[in-house]
Structure 1
Amino acid sequence: MNFIQDQSYLFSVALLLIVSTNSFTADQNIIDVDNRSQTYFNGNIWAVLVAGSNGWFNYRHQADVCHAYQVLHRHGIPDERIIVMMYDDIANNSENPIPGFIRNKPHGPNVYPGVPKDYTGEDVTPENFLSALSGDEHLEARGKKVVKSGPNDHIFIYFSDHGSDGLIAFPSSELLASQFNKVILKMHRQRKYGKMVVYIEACESGSMFDGLLRKNINVFATTASNSTESSYACYFDNELQTYLGDVYSVKWLEDSDSRHSLRHETLQKQFVIVKKETNTSHVQEFGDLRIGKLPVSQFQGSKISEKISTSSVPITDAVRSEDVPLILAARKMAKEKNETLKIIYRKKLDEILNLREFLKSSVRKIVKEIQPFVNASFDALWNGKQKIKQRECYELLYRVFDNRCFDLSTHPYALRYLYVFVNFCNFSNGNASVVELARITMTQFCAKHIIDTNKRIL
């Protein structure tokens, strides 16, 4: 062996020893080697974790995100590179019997301690999310944490909340798929990341990437459901009287919990496990699938950690996300032994049902008003469930519905009916005059016939 070969050999041995001894600290760059992927990673990991809801009945979304923080923190990603966005109204909620305690599975540990409060309350917005993700200097100047990644760094994004066709929800507004993908593309062109992985827990979450996410910009995404179906809540807790988690989310979180090291599992393997165990919806993958060959450690942390659990809790109570408020009200009524309180809870349940029927009836009337403008029957618009093909038309009618008919953040159940505008727009073929007729008709009809209730339609 000559001198150059000898030096190369010694360097390789030294590199492997550095990795195997886990001697570096959490705030150092991570050098990750995985024999199967033959991939070296010498950069920082940044993470953005978002719970887009508020309210006790949405407990599970913040529990998911707090749990995700614990996974990343435990595997060595420092807090200065983890951005957490959550309303933060659960841990010390008046309905929480153990203040400061949030769990993500039955009899699970407290996942709330240590979670950074980077964006809470009214700061949990789509605008702040996109600005923080893209490293906005103006936001940073206001003292807010932003992603400061470069071309060698990896970014992990996890979002948990409600969703609908081509959007995901935040407490007071929504993020459109087109907006999200536009920012990702811009970040790629500006070389603000090396590779990016996105996990989304939401109904119709596949529509955030289907037909939008390019395969050549180093982004790999997985979603809890396809473009036309619900995601599912799980782990009902009798003490807390709410659901602790979401099926897709707890499956990837518990998979990461079950491993000392995330270096020996690829993203694709985690995807396959989660897809198999999430039997309530169709878990999807999008983007550059070659990234799936990389180890999970390059996005969730490389530090060796203690296993939190060796097996997941069987899920026997999964329910569609949109049914959660109804089921919680019914369970509360059934559990109550005091007849006076039982009557009160019965009225609350009836109120939810009546408000939902009011919303459904209103949307049916809107569809009947705009149906004559396209070559499609009412049944085709009402009963169909198509993917978005005419995005510009759909986004326009979504905004009219949100601004003029039912505010989606106030009345989240209205998210269930956005599909009718997807169907209408697809049948319109994007005809500008047809779209304008629909816009005017919806605006006038809602102004005249829909008196917005001061009670939330859940």
Structure 2
Amino acid sequence: MKFSVSLMLMLPLLALGRVPLSKPEEDGEIWAVLVAGTEEWDEYRHQADICHAYQILSANGVPDDHIVVMMFDNIADNIVNPFPGQIFNHPTGDDVYPGVPKDYNGHDVTKENLFKVLRGDAKGLEGIGSGKVINSGPNDRIFISMEGFGDNGIFFFPYEIMMANEFADVVLEMKENNRFKEMMVYMDSSCSATMFQDLYPDDIGFYALSAANADEVTYAAYCVDGPFFNCYGEQFAVSWMEDVDSKDPSTELLKENFEITKELTYLSEVTQWGQISVENENVAAFMGSKRSYVSPARNYSTEEHKASARPSQDVPLINLQNRLRAARTPEEKTHLSSEIRTLKNKRSMIKNVMERIVLKVSGDERLAHDLMTKKQEKITAWNCYGEAANAFHKNCYALGKNTAGTTIVSALLNMCEAGYKADDIVGATKNVCVFPTLQ
């Protein structure tokens, strides 16, 4: 009653424009961070997904100063793009590139810059990109979407790696500093379940979806032949976004979005993490209320996704093979055949190098074979694993630029979990990888 009376007394002043009508404190604001962790043309889909996510948030009324976009931004104007200046997330969809903020592009797409954005460290980002950060408070909600490659407990940036425990430390620090009421993360990378497993309390308002379980790769979607010869999206990403596109976010629950995403992402296991009760909130709580549609609603189906899906790490090879089949001149066929051989040789080399590293550390061929193939259910040796993975990335192969490497990094984890010392593993990478780091 007191509130009603107070409001009635304020109405004349409001009519004169003297007293602003503010939102209730508990409503808070929405902030978003959208990250594409790859830069190659063959990974077109990751930047396309991020652009689509931006269009959803923008159409739902989330202002640009509350959305931070991190992507290399070399796809729309790429010399091989058959649609210059445009990016698409579906073969018959709309251009999702218009208006996308150029916050952090090129070599500014880094783990450290992401952490500064999340911490609100504007001083640390002076002179870098747009300098935009998340200025969130205790009543705000933060939505994060990350697209790219990964392996057990790792998300790959173009030139560095981010360990799951590093990301968790930043999130927990943010919670301790009252920088969010709730946070939701959609992580689209291989083995992404290990980015959350056993790392977050279930009572801090943190909620996440992972695109794949601990030993699964993700799948690209809408992979087509010429003139594109590429994939428009990732199966997990296009599944959750196409559902949001076709629904009213003010009435759809996050639980419903999860269930539909899980059904459409049938080639990998989508899983929830953190405070599961957050699923009972509306999508609008993290993505805004629908004000305009990004594109006409479509009836998407598992069959449509299945027909065009490809294992994410195999997309570069599949694209080359498709281009070879469509080649018309002997010169073009010879060139593409050479590229295919080079890619296959690189993949064999990466595996061979890891086998040599494991053998050097273990000193036993049978044991080395087990360490190369064992599947870990959980990660506990974070410090050792982080040192080993960074050493392999620095001394041997830039993991964010070599998709085949994302399927063998688990051998480093196996050695750490088996009790081998990080110093020995790091030393083995330096001893075996005497060649320049393969980019």
Instruction: Within 5 Å, give how 1:267-286 maps onto structure 2.
Output: 267-286=254-273
User: In 2 relative to 1, CA 453–168 (structure 1 residues): closer, same or farther, beyond 3 Å?
Assistant: closer
Deviations 1:36-65 (A, max 9, x none): xxxx96111000011111121010000000
TM-aligned CA deviation for residue 406 of structure 1 = 2.2
Instruction: Within 5 Å, give how 1:335-374 maps onto structure 2.
Output: 335-372=326-363
Q: Distance in 2 between matches of 1:47 and 1:443?
A: 40
Q: Distance in 2 between matches of 1:254 and 1:351?
A: 37
1:380 matches 2:370:
yes
* Residue of structure 1 in register with 2:163 after alignment: 176
User: In 2 relative to 1, CA 6–349 (structure 1 residues): closer, same or farther, beyond 3 Å?
Assistant: closer
* Residue of structure 1 in register with 2:234 after alignment: 246
Q: Is the 8 A contact 1:247 1:318 kept in 2?
A: yes
Paired positions, count = 419
Question: What is the aligned counterpart of 1:136 among 121, 124, 128?
Answer: 121
Deviations 1:349-389 (A, max 9, x none): 11111111111111111111112389x82232122121322
Question: What is the aligned counterpart of 1:443 among 405, 430, 433?
Answer: 430
SS for the counterpart of 2:69 is: strand
The one-letter amino acid of 1:403's match is K
User: In 2 relative to 1, CA 197–444 (structure 1 residues): closer, same or farther, beyond 3 Å?
Assistant: same
Question: What is the aligned counterpart of 2:309 among 305, 310, 318?
Answer: 318
Q: Distance in 2 between matches of 1:64 and 1:29?
A: 34
The one-letter amino acid of 2:48's match is A
Q: Distance in 1 between matches of 2:199 and 2:308?
A: 34
Deviations 1:310-331 (A, max 9, x none): 3126111211111111111111
TM-aligned CA deviation for residue 78 of structure 1 = 0.8
User: In 2 relative to 1, CA 435–141 (structure 1 residues): closer, same or farther, beyond 3 Å?
Assistant: closer
Question: What is the aligned counterpart of 2:277 among 284, 290, 293?
Answer: 290
Q: Is the 8 A contact 1:29 1:43 kept in 2?
A: no
1:52 matches 2:37:
yes
The one-letter amino acid of 2:236's match is Y
1:115 matches 2:105:
no
Moved more, 72-81 or 381-390: 381-390
User: In 2 relative to 1, CA 322–140 (structure 1 residues): closer, same or farther, beyond 3 Å?
Assistant: closer
Deviations 1:285-322 (A, max 9, x none): 11011111111101011134336313126111211111
Q: Is the 8 A contact 2:122 2:132 kept in 1?
A: no
Deviations 1:243-282 (A, max 9, x none): 10000000000000002x2011111111111111111100
The one-letter amino acid of 2:138's match is P
Q: Distance in 2 between matches of 1:172 and 1:52?
A: 9
Percent of pairs identical after alignment? 34
TM-aligned CA deviation for residue 438 of structure 1 = 3.3
The one-letter amino acid of 1:427's match is A
* Residue of structure 1 in register with 2:50 after alignment: 65
SS for the counterpart of 2:27 is: strand
Moved more, 278-287 or 365-374: 365-374
Q: Is the 8 A contact 1:207 1:227 kept in 2?
A: yes
Deviations 1:51-91 (A, max 9, x none): 11112101000000000000111111011111111111000
Q: CA RMSD in A?
A: 2.3
* Residue of structure 2 in register with 1:332 after alignment: 323
Q: Distance in 1 between matches of 2:69 and 2:425?
A: 40
Q: Distance in 2 between matches of 1:30 and 1:103?
A: 37
Q: Distance in 2 between matches of 1:355 and 1:223?
A: 29
Q: Is the 8 A contact 2:158 2:400 kept in 1?
A: yes
Q: Is the 8 A contact 1:49 1:65 kept in 2?
A: yes
TM-score, length basis structure 1: 0.86
TM-score, length basis structure 2: 0.90
Question: What is the aligned counterpart of 2:177 among 186, 190, 207?
Answer: 190
Q: Is the 8 A contact 2:159 2:398 kept in 1?
A: no
Q: Distance in 2 between matches of 1:140 and 1:438?
A: 34
User: Which segments of 5 or more consecutive residues in structure 2 lack a partner in the other structure?
Assistant: 12-20
* Residue of structure 2 in register with 1:76 after alignment: 61
Q: Is the 8 A contact 1:210 1:227 kept in 2?
A: no
Q: Distance in 1 between matches of 2:308 and 2:347?
A: 23
Question: What is the aligned counterpart of 1:163 among 119, 142, 150?
Answer: 150
Q: Is the 8 A contact 1:132 1:139 kept in 2?
A: no
TM-aligned CA deviation for residue 410 of structure 1 = 4.3
Q: Distance in 2 between matches of 1:196 and 1:304?
A: 23
Q: Is the 8 A contact 1:370 1:442 kept in 2?
A: no
User: Which segments of 5 or more consecutive residues in structure 1 lack a partner in the other structure?
Assistant: 15-27, 32-39
The one-letter amino acid of 2:371's match is L
